[in-house]
Amino acid sequence: MPLPDDFSPAQHLLEMLLGTHNRTVQKTFIGVPDADLEHPLGGMKLACLLTPDDTVDMILLRMMLFWFEFKGNLPAPLYAIPTEDYQSKILYPYRPEVKLIFREDYSVFLAENKFQRAKAEISWRLINETSASMSQSKAHSIALRIKEVFAEGQGFIWERGITQVTYRDPPHGVRFSLFAASQAEAIRVIERVLEVAEITFNEELIGVSKNNKNYPLVPPTQEVYGKPTKGIRRRPITEVRFQRAELHIYGLRSPIILVDLRNSGDSLV
């Protein structure tokens, strides 16, 4: 069917963005009223929502504010090694890896102190699978379990902290190390992960390392390279929320996104 004579690509694009982008913003700011600058997150929500009168520059700035500043999707500096080297030196080389990623919610406290949001990752190896045996149907089954256990509502939340809790079960491809607010909180998270992995929890495999060192909420400023620089948060006590799950398969350059609460549209479920 041909397009109508008065069809405007620019207007059509804006209408599509208004529908999809604003719907995502509304889902993210559940409970935050529209145009309420008294609410701690009201100003951020107002700034992220597109309006029919926005110019192209305003549209880009609002979307960049939401996805990069609020959602924290800017790439961070990191140390890395080639995938082939990493896969070949681990305990179970070349076995598919499932990774769960959790991230601290945006807050005024983080913005005012210019802190990066705390992050946590938990992963395990599918020791009974290989790159050749792994299939889309198997990945989809794992994704459904993750969605059921971790993606309900706005995502599963747990509290990070200074207590290091390990859970090692090498025959099942499991080597967890969590910094949690308590041993009980770490076990709560581990039990959920093992539920997804379909592995029986064994309390005897738990290890705990308590640290009595004081980690300040706001680290003091220190001199770095001749300039006063805000200190880095270490082992912050804060809540982290499930964000997405990835499946890494040796031979694929990019991970398969199993579940993604960022509404990116490219996950299996």
In sequence order, the 6+-apart residues with CB closer than 8 A to the CB of 53 are: none
Q: Taking a C-beta distance cutoff of 8 angstroms, is the pair 51, 77 a contact?
A: no
Give pLDDT, residue 27.
Answer: 82
pTM value is 0.75
Please return the burial class of 153, using the count of CB atoms within 10 Å of its CB with bins 0-12, 13-18 and 19+: exposed
Give pLDDT, residue 153.
Answer: 85
Give pLDDT, residue 108.
Answer: 80
Whole-Å CA distances, 204 to 23, 125, 169: 46, 20, 10
Which H/E stretch holds residue 119?
Answer: strand 119-125
Nearest residue to 145 via CA among 177, 97, 201, 193? 193
Nearest residue to 207 via CA among 168, 257, 240? 168
pLDDT in 10s for each residue of the chain, 269 residues: 678 888 888 888 888 888 889 988 888 888 888 888 888 888 999 999 999 989 889 999 999 998 887 877 666 666 667 766 666 656 666 799 999 999 998 888 887 787 888 999 999 999 999 999 999 999 999 999 999 999 988 899 999 999 999 999 999 999 999 999 999 999 999 999 999 999 999 999 999 987 778 888 888 888 988 888 888 888 899 999 999 999 999 988 889 999 998 766 688 99
3-class DSSP state of 239: strand
3-class DSSP state of 31: coil
Give pLDDT, residue 6.
Answer: 84
